[in-house]
Amino acid sequence: MPAAAISGRAGNSASGGAVGAQDDSPDYREQTGMAERARDQLGRFGVWRGASQVTPELAGVIEQAGFGALWLGGSPGGDLRQVDELLDATRTLTVATGIVNMWQDEAGRVAASFARIEARRPGRFLLGVGAGHREAIQRYARPYETLVAYVDALLAAGVPADSLVLAALGPKVLRLAAERTAGAHPYLVTPEHTRRARAILGDGPLLAPEHKVVLEPDPQRARAIGRPRVRNPYLGLVNYTSNLRRLGWTDEDLSDGGSDALIDALVAHGTPGQVAARLREHLAAGADHVSIQLLTAPGADPAAGYRQLGQALAL
């Protein structure tokens, strides 16, 4: 089982090769500026939710609860028409994608969608892109090289680097995110991963991890809600299981739907105050923003949970 200790924000001398070394070079100043603009957009806390489960009305609830951003999960389509609807329904909320899948939509189409959104609602959209999962994509090959080319194409088509983040778990893609975009949006991670990611990214780039939560003080009931959402599909996807093994989790932890310790690490549960304290561990470990995926019992309305979390986080 991984060590539970969480350090403060990592410095640039950490092992793993931080690319954002703190200096006065033009590249560093530009990178820091990109990340600062993204941080201003997002605020400290946002909401992650599958795109098919988001309505304009729910986006309004999330904004009223004080969250700075709404991340659309589940590989939303490259036309990004839903983003228009959600921005029209809110006043200040940033909408982000978590993430557009590079195998499903050509970079040119996504860049054109970005330009349309930016022209209508400037400064309120953050484009998250990534490689998805090899198990779900038949033509999944040379993902890193393909991602580099995809980022190059987006930038060449006019998507500003400060409006672009990458889904990143391992060191190689984290470094790419730091070098070419505003930063990284890791998914299914712990504060320990956030600490390691910050050491790799350096102090400048944006780090915006996702974390699942269940507002239920009884651990057994909370795990009954959280475990199915971790087991299926994530414990069957090699990019996530490989990342968890890098963090020290064992085959035993990853089997049979995940050990209690693993589920507790990946799904914060308890009272709203207890969950808020867990989420702040990511900030202490070096995150700039945390996107919160609220898990509920089937059929439950999430609106009350978002309001409770907003209050507990003092948004």
d(CA 279, CA 274): 9
Query: Are 281 and 191 in contact, with CB atoms under 8 Å apart?
Result: yes
d(CA 261, CA 206): 28
Give the pLDDT of residue 151: 98
Q: Residue 53 corresponds to which tokens in the numbers above?
A: 């489960």
pTM of the model: 0.89
Query: Are 86 and 308 in contact, with CB atoms under 8 Å apart?
Result: no
Beta bridge partners of 210: 291
Give the pLDDT of residue 149: 96
Give the pLDDT of residue 35: 72
Task: Encode pLDDT of 205-248 as tens digits.
Answer: 999 999 999 999 999 999 999 999 999 999 999 999 999 999 99
Give the pLDDT of residue 27: 60
Q: Which residues contact 43 (CB under 8 A, 6 or more apart)?
A: 67, 68, 69, 94, 289, 315
Q: Give CA angle at 8 (4, 10), nearest 5°.
A: 110
Tokens 């778990």, located at residue: 169
CATH number assigned to the domain covering 28-214+271-312? 3.20.20.30
In tens digits, the chain (315 residues) has pLDDT values of 553 322 233 333 333 333 333 455 556 546 566 678 788 889 999 999 999 999 999 999 999 999 999 999 988 999 999 999 999 999 999 999 999 999 999 999 999 999 999 999 999 999 999 997 554 555 557 899 999 999 999 999 999 999 999 999 999 999 999 999 999 999 999 999 999 999 999 999 999 999 999 999 999 999 999 999 999 999 999 999 999 999 999 999 999 999 999 999 999 999 999 999 999 999 999 999 999 999 999 999 999 999 999 999 999
Tokens 């939560």, located at residue: 213
